[in-house]
Amino acid sequence: MKPFLEALGDIPHSQEAAALRVKSADFSWFSPIMSAALAGRTAEVVIAPRNEEDVVRIAAACAKHRVPLVARGAGTGNFGQAVPLARGAVVEMLGLDRILFQKGNIARAQAGIRIGVLDEVLRKQGRELRMHPSTKKLATLGGFVGGGHAGVGTVNWGILRDRGNLLGLKVITVEETPRMLELRGDDVNLVHHAYGVNGLVTEVELPLAPAYEWLDTIVVFDDFARAVEFGMALATQDGILKKLVSVHAWPVPGYFVPLRKYLPGGKAAALLMIGAETREPFDSLVRQFGGTTTYSVPESGIYEYTWGHTTMHALRADRSLTYLVCIFPREDPVGTIKRVHAKLGSEVFLHLEFKRFNGYMTAEGVPLFRYQGFEQMVRLYKALEAEGARIANAHTFLLQNGGMKDLDTAQIDFKRSVDPHLLMNPGKVAGLDDLPGGISGTALEAAQLPASGWAY
Amino acid sequence: MKPFLEALGDIPHSQEAAALRVKSADFSWFSPIMSAALAGRTAEVVIAPRNEEDVVRIAAACAKHRVPLVARGAGTGNFGQAVPLARGAVVEMLGLDRILFQKGNIARAQAGIRIGVLDEVLRKQGRELRMHPSTKKLATLGGFVGGGHAGVGTVNWGILRDRGNLLGLKVITVEETPRMLELRGDDVNLVHHAYGVNGLVTEVELPLAPAYEWLDTIVVFDDFARAVEFGMALATQDGILKKLVSVHAWPVPGYFVPLRKYLPGGKAAALLMIGAETREPFDSLVRQFGGTTTYSVPESGIYEYTWGHTTMHALRADRSLTYLVCIFPREDPVGTIKRVHAKLGSEVFLHLEFKRFNGYMTAEGVPLFRYQGFEQMVRLYKALEAEGARIANAHTFLLQNGGMKDLDTAQIDFKRSVDPHLLMNPGKVAGLDDLPGGISGTALEAAQLPASGWAY
């Protein structure tokens, strides 16, 4: 480690225990299984590059001295993406926070910029990001591209992987003499959602959406099934502007303490972002489905109760809870959701995010349940699969086992070309850069949970 | 008629034979059946109101003197919407051409404004209309609302009827003392696509889309089935910007003479408007489907070969052709289109417009064929229905028989309340304001063609 640290020169870095602990953690504590599996995994050094030149020097030094490295944004991932399994260095990208250009409906920025900061600048130009995670205030652009997949806005634009949502990425290889690659077209998906195993992303180019005047809105329903029907109707009403359609079965809304007075006990709730311009037709739709609008105010952060934040609020209220992630089938999402709720509703509290995905509208389920052990989780996964839902394994840090990323030969070849010494986030790609000694115990069990995958 | 003409006072009007003939015609000559059925139908006077006050005076005079009236935009409708069946007055709305306001993503204009003029003004504010007919240069806003249903942009926003695409309408009743009604929310659909039978529309309020930089683009394929798969893939790629996805089986592209060098003989062609910002991912999609891009230039009117214009170009080239209108089923549009092409392709030349409709992506078919008589048309309608396509009867001037407008009790009650003397476009609503003597001959036969309707 010492020659490596010397090679860093004046690049800011720290070996303080507190810094190492904090900067080696992410939100994988959402999962009791991963929490156990990742306990005690910390880096040896946290490095904070100030610019792209620093990143190149870090990459060269890691390659030369064979030091493993993990790129880190704000650490808001849920799947251990940013947890260093093989010690080495955590490279915190927050210093790379410049907007490089905004031209019409395209913007390019450095990877370490906070998504919320970028979005605020864009809003002043009448534009906004097509989508952002519920962690937008904290999360970085590079972190979203490397570890995320969708978010607020996905109901309109599909997931980040869908063609057209990522225009370009600049990637630095981890070699003695690092190269800079510009990935465009379909090639962006080599690096997107790859947990940083195949290149250090320094720049991201994105298409923009027009900025609408959004209204944070809550509509409640006596009946969850009706709320789901409403959610799908709203999500597919092409003429009504929306950015978020998030539907929650009771008791989930009960965990949203600051919103409590808009969320009557026992009722299902839809948390929404609606365009002010189409408020009247939206009201007609609410009337048609018999919902009650309890809240509607200019945009003020309702998205921080949806997507990943739903789980966070629930776990803050009740640490016995955990979650799983599934996607309802394209053919009959509403029917499948109703069946799952009817059969499992007393054990599994449904939380849905309506999303476009591969060109079709469906809903992602992020249900909550009281964790009783591994066998229960296997049972629930299988019960969901039996109804036709497809599972993404949210309890493993192994990239392929998550079920979303399909690491084909082209991906593995690309990984080897940009990271010939297999130093980038090692331990995440099973069969290629396994941890010394392999994985075992809960980590192994978690990796073996069903993951029917998200492709269809 | 004389007291009526006196009541008009200084409102410009004409009784010249040439004016009466021209202003009583629309594009119903596309249909050989309707062409025969409507032959010789002309008004007694053409009136050109200069402003809303004139419209009110005309409405009052019509009511007082029991003079039938038909509102007219530019006469670009295909279904006899603007043809006066019961003589009387044609009210040409072109004088009401003011933009009343544009505020963010909402605009309101008078009904007689040319759609193209409005769209051009909006473009300067970074906005555009969500959708427009292929006749945008000529057609008026009120004509589109009264007689149209969809167009370029529908692939993104759904049809005009879909909630949110029409925000408000101002309507003047035909009574001795006309009232002014403001219809909003779901009520706009009382008047939309009602052929002007229930109120004179003077103002239209619309939501706007952001103006993108569109590229007129042609992609050709050896195989029509592949072109259809490509069309659906593009239409449903949420991340790729598009405004028009229009797919044509050979020989249809052969009728587009000015584009001939981009349309190789025998090949299927997709005529597209693509966002420049997502050109790269679009190119990836073209490669995936094995298409060849023969043309891609900044927006220059390619839409004038699509939607209704396709039929016009074909009929200009070959007057033995006619057309029909169908919609492919939500469940399996691509499979149904392929079956229809395989079974009927030698007689019926498919032309498709991909469109969102009721929240789902599908394709409208406007196939061309050489007209051999009424029996052939019935046979083709039935053959299409047998494959699962739903038919809109494009060969009748009767509102209900077109298959798109469902005139329920609420609609009829509304018609009676705004037009108590049944003077508005009489003859278009069967059973309510039938023509004296009823319809007969080809008009009757045409009205009896199958119309399975467009709702699903």
DSSP secondary structure letters along A242-291:
EEEEEEE-TTGGGG-GGGGGGS-TT-EEEEEEEEGGGHHHHHHHHHHHT-
Which residues on B lie below 8 Å from A126 (Cβ)? 126
Count of all residues that appear for chain B in the document: 456
Using CB atoms, which residue from B186, B208, B359 is nearest to A238? B359
Question: What does the alpha-carbon distance between residue A30 and residue A33 come to, in Å, rounded to a whole number?
Answer: 9
pTM of the model: 0.95
Given a cut of 80, whether residue B233 has pLDDT beyond it is yes
Nearest residue to B70 via CA among B44, B49, B88, B97: B88
3-state secondary structure chain B: CHHHHHHHCCCCEECCHHHHHHHCCCHHHHCHHHHHHCCCCCCCEEECCCCHHHHHHHHHHHHHHCCCEEEECCCCCCCCCCCCCCCCEEEEHHHCCCEEEEECCEEEEECCCEHHHHHHHHHCCCEEECCECCCCCCCEHHHHHHHCCCCECHHHHCCCCCCCCCCEEEEECCCCCCCEEEEEHHHHHHHCCCCCCCCEEEEEEEEEEECCCEEEEEEEECCHHHHHHHHHHHHHCCCCCEEEEEEECCCHHHHCHHHHHHCCCCCEEEEEEEEHHHHHHHHHHHHHHCCEEEEEEECCCHHHHCCHHHHHHHHHHCCCEEECEEECCCCCHHHHHHHHHHHHCCCCECEEEEEEECCEEEEEECCEEECCCHHHHHHHHHHHHHCCCEEECCCCCCCHHHCCCCCCHHHHHHHHHHCCCCCECCCCCCCCCCCCCCCCHHHHHHHCCCCCCCCC
DSSP conformational letter for A435? P
Question: What does the alpha-carbon distance between residue A237 and residue A231 come to, in Å, rounded to a whole number?
Answer: 10
Q: What is the pLDDT of residue A280?
A: 96
Q: Which H or E element spans position A375? A: helix A374-386
Question: What does the alpha-carbon distance between residue A116 and residue A74 come to, in Å, rounded to a whole number?
Answer: 12
Using CB atoms, which residue from A106, A184, A185 is nearest to B277? A106
Give chain A's end-to-end CA distance (angstroms, integer): 45
Phi, psi (rounded to 5 degrees) for A266: 85, -10
Contact A99, A114 (CB under 8 A): no
Smallest CA–CA separation between A309 and chain B, in Å? Answer: 25
Average confidence (pLDDT) over B181-208: 96
A255 to each of A251, A297, A314, A414, B178, how far by Cα in Å?
7, 21, 5, 43, 56
Nearest residue to A245 via CA among A262, A226, A270: A270
Smallest CA–CA separation between B254 and chain A, in Å? Answer: 31
Q: What is the pLDDT of residue A436?
A: 64
pLDDT tens across B260-270, in order? 999 999 999 99
A281 to B167: CB separation less than 8 angstroms, yes or no: yes
- Determine the residue among B163, B190, B236, B242 to mutate to test chain A binding: the one whose Cβ has the most chain A Cβ atoms within 10 Å: B163
- Determine the residue among B102, B238, B355, B356 to mutate to test chain A binding: the one whose Cβ has the most chain A Cβ atoms within 10 Å: B238
Instruction: Tell me the pLDDT of chain B averaged across its residues.
Output: 94
DSSP conformational letter for A337? H
Smallest CA–CA separation between B382 and chain A, in Å? Answer: 28
Give the pair of three-digit tokens for residue B279. Answer: 């050109």
Question: What does the alpha-carbon distance between residue A241 and residue A219 come to, in Å, rounded to a whole number?
Answer: 16
Count of beta carbons in the 10 Å neighbourhood of residue B224: 24
Mean pLDDT of residues grouped by 10 in chain A (456 residues)?
A: 96 97 92 87 97 98 98 93 93 98 96 98 97 98 96 97 97 98 96 94 97 97 98 97 98 97 98 97 98 98 98 95 94 96 97 95 96 91 93 88 81 95 92 73 80 66
Given a cut of 50, whether residue B429 has pLDDT beyond it is yes
Q: What is the pLDDT of residue A399?
A: 87
Contact B204, B93 (CB under 8 A): no
Q: What is the pLDDT of residue A456?
A: 44
Residue B440 forms beta bridges with which residues?
Answer: none
Smallest CA–CA separation between A300 and chain B, in Å? Answer: 20
Q: What is the pLDDT of residue A69?
A: 98
Residue B69 forms beta bridges with which residues?
Answer: B89, B424
Smallest CA–CA separation between A221 and chain B, in Å? Answer: 21
State CA A124 to chain mean position distance.
26
Given a cut of 70, whether residue B455 has pLDDT beyond it is no
Nearest residue to A146 via CA among A94, A198, A106, A109: A198
Question: What does the alpha-carbon distance between residue B426 and residue B430 come to, in Å, rounded to a whole number?
Answer: 9
A239 to B167: CB separation less than 8 angstroms, yes or no: no
A·B CB contacts under 8 A:
118
Q: What is the pLDDT of residue A286?
A: 98
Is A293 strand, coil or helix? strand
Using CB atoms, which residue from B212, B236, B283 is nearest to A359? B236
State CA B48 to chain mean position distance.
23
- The radius of gyration of chain A's CA atoms, rounded to the nearest angstrom, is 22
Cα angle, residue A88 at apex, residues A83 and A90 outer, rounded to 5°: 50
A277 to B241: CB separation less than 8 angstroms, yes or no: no
pLDDT band of residue B456 (cuts 50, 70, 90) is: very low
Residues of B with CB under 8 A from a CB of A: 104-106, 126, 130, 156-158, 162-165, 167, 184-186, 207-210, 212-213, 233, 236-241, 275, 277-278, 280-285, 356, 359-361
Smallest CA–CA separation between B446 and chain A, in Å? Answer: 33
On the 0-12 / 13-18 / 19+ scale of CB atoms within 10 A, B184 is middle
Question: What does the alpha-carbon distance between residue B195 and residue B408 come to, in Å, rounded to a whole number?
Answer: 15
Nearest residue to B293 via CA among B277, B312, B269, B316: B269
Contact A324, A149 (CB under 8 A): no
Q: What is the pLDDT of residue B447?
A: 82
**β B89-92/B45-47 pair status:** parallel
Question: What does the alpha-carbon distance between residue B264 and residue B254 come to, in Å, rounded to a whole number?
Answer: 8
Nearest C-alpha in B relative to A233 = B359
Nearest residue to A342 via CA among A173, A197, A228: A228
Is A169 strand, coil or helix? strand
Is A357 strand, coil or helix? strand
Q: What is the pLDDT of residue B345?
A: 95
State CA A386 to chain mean position distance.
26
Residues of A with CB under 8 A from a CB of B: 104-106, 126, 130, 156-158, 162-165, 167, 184-186, 207-210, 212-213, 233, 236-241, 275, 277-278, 280-285, 356, 359-361
Phi, psi (rounded to 5 degrees) for A276: -55, -35
